[in-house]
Amino acid sequence: MDFPLFHLDFIGNRMLIALTAIIHVIVNHPMAVGAVPLAALLEWIARRRNNPQLDKLAYNFTFVIFIITTSLGALTGVGIWFTTALVNPDAIGSLLRVFFWAWFSEWIVFVIEVCMIMVYFLTWKSMSLKHKSRHIAIGVFLSFFSWLTMAIITGILGFMMNTGNWVPYIREWSANSGLFTAFFNPLYLPQLVFRTPFALMTAGLFFMFLTFFFTKKEDDLRHKTVRYLSAWTLVWLPLTALAGYWYWKSIPSFMASNAPIAMTTQDYTSWYPTILVILQVLVIFVILISLLGIIRSRWLPRVVLLVPFIVSIALLGSYERVREFVRKPFVIKDYLYANGLRVDHYPLYKEGGILPYASFVSTSQVTESNQLQAGQDIFMLTCSRCHTVGGLNSVNKKFKKLFPNGVWKKEQLSSFITNMHNIRPFMPPFPGNDRELDALTAFIIENQDRNIRVEGAQTAGFTKNE
């Protein structure tokens, strides 16, 4: 409400954040948190068995980890900050009031992690066999700091899903409110206990993927490596399943009810049982490959090593999408809706309207002469965090499905917007008064057959409401 509204109508703000976050999780979990301890373990096995080929292979794995995590991983990590601050600055501001010292600590840990991975990779070849144990120790410490970064962020992510008794403290923050209580929220341990073996398991699948490229001719090396990686994967897979069950049972019931839509979108909720079966089949397939890798690794065709990591990408991407979606209609449970408006401000907006309290809009009141422009401002304030006008996830497409005959009646549209949070519980209620509802309805009807794109403040500029 106090910031100019950033908006990308062709892709949507929600998709912008989702792409950044999913890429970051796919990089961070298997390639940073999970892969570093696995690389250190392979290095230790190579030293114990005096196997320079395996040591070189572990070095090659670490080279890939080093390049991807320090470029794409770091870029998307900062990208999450950048995109969320643009799209929903009130959410980031509210979380910073509670978790400033947690984020401050996380940045220090991240800098240490980056420095240590540089030392770990760049000193690999220079350390003689006499000093290998020191180098492996660096890998162990790096593994801890990689995990610690995730452990700190998980506290904040868990808080967004279940604040516990913390909503009053966010509203009126004081230094004595207790960061410890907020950090160790009801979902912290279940989520951390799930993410840890999940990252370690997918690291094994990622290294299988890399083994395909780094052992084109060394069959014996590939068979031994696949055996190690298969055993690693099978150790962490059942722990991931058990922790995932605990995590699932810990989330609030309304979030669990959002899972079918989170997994499939509104249009394909009937596919949810089928998709669950497909995911189970994929997991069973990974188990079979891992078992075969332990028992008879020579029976595995080299090309099969590409499949498990593709499965892990599907699992990681699905998890991140579901985790982000199920907490709707909230960004921060019971405190801030997905549209960036605070729950306890809704009675105020219902009575006096939302426009008078918005700093950057073209008008503070709806009149007959400015109804369409006011309707656009209301759309930007209440809908643009998740929807576009004519782009991805557009309101035009949504309402065309609701009214397939092409006739959009004002009364029907107004009634739907007023009650949409009852029909679709993952959507926040409309916050404005009746005049603003009329203006929003008029704006949507006016543009139902027009291929327009509403520009955000970053392109169109902004007008401050005095």
- 378: domain CATH number is 1.10.760.10
The domain of 33 spans 13-337
- Are 315 and 372 found together in one domain? no
- Residue tagged 């995990």 (tokens): 147
450, 465, 443, 453: which is closest to 372 by C-alpha? 443
- Are 364 and 333 found together in one domain? no
Q: Give the per-residue pLDDT at 357.
A: 92
Let me know if residue 220 belongs to a domain: yes
Number of domains in the chain: 2
Asked if residues 7 and 380 have their Cβ atoms less than 8 Å apart, the reply is: yes
Q: In this structure, what token pair is assigned to residue 434?
A: 């009746």
Give the start-end residues of each E strand in 295-363: 330-332, 336-337
Cβ burial of 3 (10 Å; 0-12, 13-18, 19+) is: middle
Q: What residues contact residue 401 under an 8 Å CB cut-off, 6+ apart?
A: none
Q: What is the DSSP letter of 251?
A: S
Q: What is the pTM of this model?
A: 0.90
Alpha-carbon span 403 to 45, nearest angstrom: 64
Asked if residues 279 and 318 have their Cβ atoms less than 8 Å apart, the reply is: yes
Alpha-carbon span 16 to 8, nearest angstrom: 8
Cβ burial of 11 (10 Å; 0-12, 13-18, 19+) is: middle
- Digits of tens for pLDDT over the chain (466 positions)? 678 888 888 888 989 999 999 999 999 999 999 999 999 999 999 999 999 999 999 999 999 999 999 999 999 999 999 999 999 999 999 999 889 999 999 999 999 999 999 999 999 988 766 778 999 999 999 999 999 999 999 999 999 998 876 554 444 434 445 688 889 888 999 999 999 999 999 999 999 999 999 998 888 999 999 999 999 999 999 999 999 999 999 999 999 999 998 888 877 788 888 888 988 888 898 899 899 899 988 888 888 888 888 888 988 988 999 999 999 999 999 999 999 999 999 999 999 999 999 988 888 899 989 999 999 999 999 999 999 988 888 888 888 877 767 667 788 889 999 999 998 999 999 999 999 999 999 998 888 777 777 888 777 666 666 5
Let me know if residue 348 belongs to a domain: no
Q: Give the per-residue pLDDT at 139.
A: 95
Asked if residues 408 and 445 have their Cβ atoms less than 8 Å apart, the reply is: yes
**Cα dihedral value 80, 85, 91, 97, nearest 10:** 100
Let me know if residue 43 belongs to a domain: yes
Q: What is the largest CA-CA distance in the chain?
A: 83
Residue 351 pairs with which residues in a beta bridge? none
Let me know if residue 375 belongs to a domain: yes
- Are 382 and 259 found together in one domain? no
Instruction: Please give the full DSSP string across 193-233, using - where no structure is assigned.
Output: HHHHHHHHHHHHHHHHHHHHHH-SS-HHHHHHHHHHHHHHH
Q: Point out the domain boundary residue: 281, 302, 337.
A: 337
Let me know if residue 73 belongs to a domain: yes
- Are 200 and 251 found together in one domain? yes
- Are 142 and 66 found together in one domain? yes
57, 75, 64: which is closest to 20 by C-alpha? 75
Q: What residues contact residue 61 under an 8 Å CB cut-off, 6+ apart?
A: 35, 38, 39, 42, 207, 210, 214
Asked if residues 339 and 276 have their Cβ atoms less than 8 Å apart, the reply is: no
- Are 260 and 391 found together in one domain? no
**CA angle (358, 364, 365) in 5-degree steps:** 140
